[in-house]
Amino acid sequence: MNIVLIGMRGSGKTAVGRILAQKLGRELIEMDELIVQKAGKRIPEIVTKHGWDKFRDLEEEVVVGVTKRDNTVIATGGGVVVSSPNITKLKQNGLLVWLTASVDTLLNRIGDDESRPLLKGKTRREDMEITLAERQPLYQKAADITIDTGGKTPEVVAKTIAAVKICCIIGDPVEHSLSPPIHNAAYKALGLNYAYIALRTSDIEKAIADIRTNGFRGVSVTTPYKVSALKYLDRIDPTARKIGAFNTIVNDNGVLTGYNTDGIGAIKALEEVTDLDGKKIVLVGGGGAALAIAAALKGKNTNLVILNRTGSKAKELATKVGAEDAASLDKISLVAEADILINATTVGMTKTGETIAPREFLHPRLTVFDIVYNPKETRLLQEARESGGNIVYGYKMLLHQATAQFQLFTGHPAPLEVMESTLIKALGGG
Ligand code: NAP
């Protein structure tokens, strides 16, 4: 993973980059230098002769080149954020650190350097103010970490960056993962020097090796690696071992331990509204999520029946976790006698309004938990509510598996309210 410094001219990208690269034993790549080499001209010459558009084209070519590199420190040009494809590429294998400073500080640091043509204003100050106002939201959106460099030496800033504890989600795809905003909001709320990024990976063996090399503190693991990556870990927590799948890695000085927080998340979500002791539960599903939930439920004193479209998978799962019974969906009428119904299938995810359990079997004593979280209120949950029962939203499982990960990564209790409101916002509101 590269460390990519972004920010305005004068924010200290090169000075900080030099010290950081030395501290970490990495190569420093200065993007502006590569552009100069590519064009065979200095930047003012490129801009006066061919315009800023030509400069930006060259910059995009350079971005493509540098993102093929690994374990470097990259000092970008101030305008790299203007192109969103640049940011997407840099983020694929990079931690983006935004170095901020006030206009006065930036102008002080640049000093009398008149070599760079003005972009927007008539004076250096006006140019800086207009450009900064335009780019601020772009830097903000791109940044994984923000560091105010005002009044700090490059040495101090580099030290802060080197000390950041990095966590990430790996999988394929990961671009739309909700984990980065949830975890980052929690770090910010507690003032922890942590950052959480999304790294798409097509080579899980290399990704796990990189976790050790880069000293990542914690990793969330998602599809398709929850089972296949187990073999690369040093230790596996008993729950994850029993399930045969994991979603979390904690790195203790190079020793990687795998955990599964999906089941814990589901139990916590349910226990917010109902006691589980002695309850009759119908769990529908035969995939990875159903397995994690079933194993967690059997750690409680519950009476568990597993139903699945493919009945043989339900039976396999029931044998694995020691459930009381298993069958195909022909037995869905069992819901009428149950205390709790859990949907752990994909049914309900689409807007077609499908539901796993016909309304006639829902009743007022029933708690219904649909782990599908998009849409927030599936048809199953809507009908359960209308039938007078308790409902548990799928996002609650996502939330609680993340709070369990947060605690494993940081050792601090998770700030639940912050994480919940961030998740709800990321899902599109109320
Ligand atoms: P999976 O391994 O692919 O399993 C899919 C399950 O859905 C299987 O049981 C499958 O039955 C069933 N299914 C698919 N289409 C069906 C249909 N038309 N009718 C009846 N059953 C059908 O997926 P997974 O990883 O377990 O995830 C399942 C769901 O849980 C997904 O929607 C996922 O987004 C959600 N999830 C939510 C959370 C959370 O935190 N809230 C966490 C993990 C997963 P067969 O075995 O017969 O194919």
As a whole number, the mean pLDDT across the chain is: 95
- In the residue annotation, 226 being an active-site residue is answered as yes
d(CA 273, CA 267): 10
pTM above 0.85, yes or no: yes
Residue tagged active-site, from 13, 226, 242, 298: 226
Please indicate whether residue 405, judged by its CB atom, sits closer than 6 Å to ligand 1.
no
Q: Give me the mean pLDDT over the 106-126 stretch.
A: 81
> What is the predicted pLDDT for the residue at 118?
74
Per-residue pLDDT, 65: 96
Ligand 1, atom 31, residue with closest C-alpha = 346
For 93, the 3-state DSSP assignment is coil
Summarised one tens digit per residue, pLDDT across range 79-89 is 999 999 999 99
- Could you tell me what percent of the chain has a pLDDT over 70? 99
**Comparison of pLDDT for 396 and 92, the residue scoring more:** 396
Asked if pLDDT for residue 304 goes beyond 80, the answer is yes
β 325-328/390-392 pair status: unpaired
134 vs 120, which has greater pLDDT? 134
Task: For helices 179-190 and 395-410, give the axis angle rounded to 10 degrees.
Answer: 50
pLDDT reported for residue 254:
94
Cβ of residue 34 lying under 6 Å from some atom of ligand 1: no
Higher pLDDT, 343 or 115: 343
pLDDT at residue number 74: 98
Instruction: Give the tokens for residue 44.
Output: 């003012």
123 or 325, greater pLDDT: 325
Cα of 311 to ligand 1 centre, how many Å?
Answer: 14
C-alpha to C-alpha distance for 250 and 380, rounded to whole angstroms: 36
- pLDDT at position 271 is 97
Residue whose token pair is 């599109």: 428
Tokens representing residue 410 in the block: 């940081």
